[in-house]
């Protein structure tokens, strides 16, 4: 979820935006993109399902619908239907911003006596309605330029990463279920998670970019095999499965909770900042203009598609989606920016999502195996936020905004009861950090004479 620096030189492309690569070249490029995004795509559903202790079949359905919705969304983005879609190689995937929000709201609903079906119908219901806020925001982007700054976007991304680290470290120790059975933090759980983390770190040291990019997937595979020998994998979820998963609109019903909507809606609006930066980076590495009327149309279409895709995703039963930035690094690495690659990616994802065996299989991954990857993954999201802040340089003013926003955001994460007298959204760390950054960015005076500190190195994550 990082943004490419806007002062970089244009990328040398093998296949430009409108080029149509041969079938096998296109398929190879599509698989390379999938390697970069597949684990982050399915992880949110697994995290939410584990934290809320959802039935296996419900978590598997969330995973399957995440793949199908990501395929549909990617197809919309790359094809650009009218004014909807960026027309860039923009890959849609599940929005990490909503993970802690879904868990927090879901926990509250469970305490209020909601059943699993009622809880998921309410969570997806407010997400469905909130997605229309993104579509509306697409039309007022020109008026948000003073608000959508690298400082604000970076703080939002930082808070996403920082708030998710708690979830990652819980899985590192064995997951929420292990806290109930007394195995949390056992040597077997910690050893398994550490093994996965070490493998990912080792592969990240290789100079070959494909090996670095595949490190997370390789770490998960090795960890899964070791977990098999340790007896930590339960295959009972794979029994008596239908051949095809049939997507059902509002499978678990539709409910709407106003207090949950205020939080989800705020997260949606804050995620616009992230989407703008990601789309800008994709245009840049694709050798497309990042200023002017053409770019403004791409930006509006991309954000509009973000909203529409989340409407479709939540109606099908997936968590909300957003434009992923991981594929920007793949474009730079391979020199392939052809939007037609996105069509191959879309088809592959939809096919995978239609087979329930795929979704159910991922629910058998033990929590420590996921935790070993997630601790690093979420830490990298945090670092990506720092890079975004430094994109256009940093002054004392920006430092004050970041320090105050992160301080209050993390404070809420540690002690959420401190703001019980304020509206519920101020008890969410991402909302608190993001809103604080927006307000301070609007009211603190700018000192143009102060020297700006830039980050000069192009560090790829």
**pLDDT tens sequence across 36-67:** 677 778 888 888 888 888 888 888 899 899 99
- pLDDT for 385 equals 79
pTM of the model: 0.78
- pLDDT for 2 equals 39
Mean pLDDT across 232-246: 79
Residue 326 has pLDDT above 70, yes or no: no
Mean pLDDT across 304-310: 92
Residue 443 has pLDDT above 50, yes or no: yes
φ, ψ for residue 252, nearest 5 deg: -100, 15
| Confidence band for 458, pLDDT divided at 50, 70 and 90 | very low
Q: Per-domain residue ranges for the chain?
A: 23-386
Average pLDDT, the chain: 83
Task: Answer with the residue of higher pLDDT: 7 or 377.
Answer: 377
Mean pLDDT across 114-131: 91
**pLDDT tens sequence across 3-35:** 344 444 445 677 888 888 888 888 888 887 787
Q: d(Cα 313, Cα 300) in Å, to the nearest integer?
A: 20
- pLDDT for 75 equals 94
Task: Answer with the residue of higher pLDDT: 175 or 121.
Answer: 121
Lowest average pLDDT, out of 2-6, 234-238, 244-248, 295-299, goes to 2-6
Residue 111 has pLDDT above 70, yes or no: yes
């Amino acid at each position: 979820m990082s943004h490419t620096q806007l002062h970089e030189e244009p990328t040398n492309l093998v296949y430009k935006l409108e080029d149509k690569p041969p079938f096998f070249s296109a398929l190879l490029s599509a698989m390379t993109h999938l390697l970069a995004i597949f684990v982050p795509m399915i992880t949110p559903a697994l995290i939410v399902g584990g934290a809320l202790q959802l039935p296996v079949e419900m978590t598997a359905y969330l995973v399957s619908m995440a793949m199908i919705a990501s395929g549909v969304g990617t197809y919309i983005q790359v094809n650009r239907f009218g004014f909807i879609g960026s027309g860039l190689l923009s890959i849609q995937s599940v929005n990490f911003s909503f993970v802690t929000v879904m868990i927090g709201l879901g926990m509250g609903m469970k305490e209020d006596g909601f059943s699993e079906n009622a809880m998921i119908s309410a969570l997806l219901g407010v997400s469905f309605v909130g997605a229309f806020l993104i579509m509306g925001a697409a039309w007022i982007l020109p008026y948000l330029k003073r608000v959508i700054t690298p400082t604000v976007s970076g703080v939002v991304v930082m808070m996403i990463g920082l708030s998710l680290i708690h979830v990652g470290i819980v899985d590192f120790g064995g997951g929420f279920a292990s806290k109930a059975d007394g195995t949390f933090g056992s040597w077997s759980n910690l050893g398994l998670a550490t093994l996965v983390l070490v493998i990912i770190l080792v592969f990240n040291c290789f100079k070959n970019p494909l090996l670095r990019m595949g490190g997370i997937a390789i770490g998960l595979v090795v960890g899964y095999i070791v977990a098999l020998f340790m007896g930590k994998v339960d295959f009972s979820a794979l029994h008596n499965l239908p051949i095809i998963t049939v997507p059902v609109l509002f499978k678990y019903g539709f409910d709407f909770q106003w207090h949950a909507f205020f939080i989800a809606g705020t997260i949606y609006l804050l995620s616009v900042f992230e989407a703008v930066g990601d789309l800008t980076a994709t245009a840049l590495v694709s050798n497309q203009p990042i200023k002017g009327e053409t770019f403004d149309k791409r930006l509006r279409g991309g954000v509009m598609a973000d909203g529409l895709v989340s409407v479709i995703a939540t109606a099908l039963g997936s968590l909300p989606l957003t434009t992923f930035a991981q594929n920007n690094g793949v474009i730079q690495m391979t020199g392939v920016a052809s939007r037609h690659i996105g069509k191959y990616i879309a088809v592959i994802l939809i096919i995978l999502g239609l087979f329930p065996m795929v979704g159910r299989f991922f629910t058998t991954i033990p929590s420590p195996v996921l935790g070993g990857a997630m601790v690093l993954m979420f830490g990298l999201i945090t670092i990506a936020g720092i890079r975004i802040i430094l994109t256009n340089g940093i002054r004392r003013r920006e430092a004050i905004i970041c320090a105050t926003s992160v301080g209050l955001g993390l404070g809420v994460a540690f002690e959420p009861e401190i703001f019980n007298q304020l509206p519920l959204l101020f008890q969410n760390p991402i909302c608190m950090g993001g809103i604080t950054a927006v307000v301070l960015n609007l009211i603190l005076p700018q000192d143009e004479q102060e020297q700006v500190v830039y980050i000069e190195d192009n560090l790829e994550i």
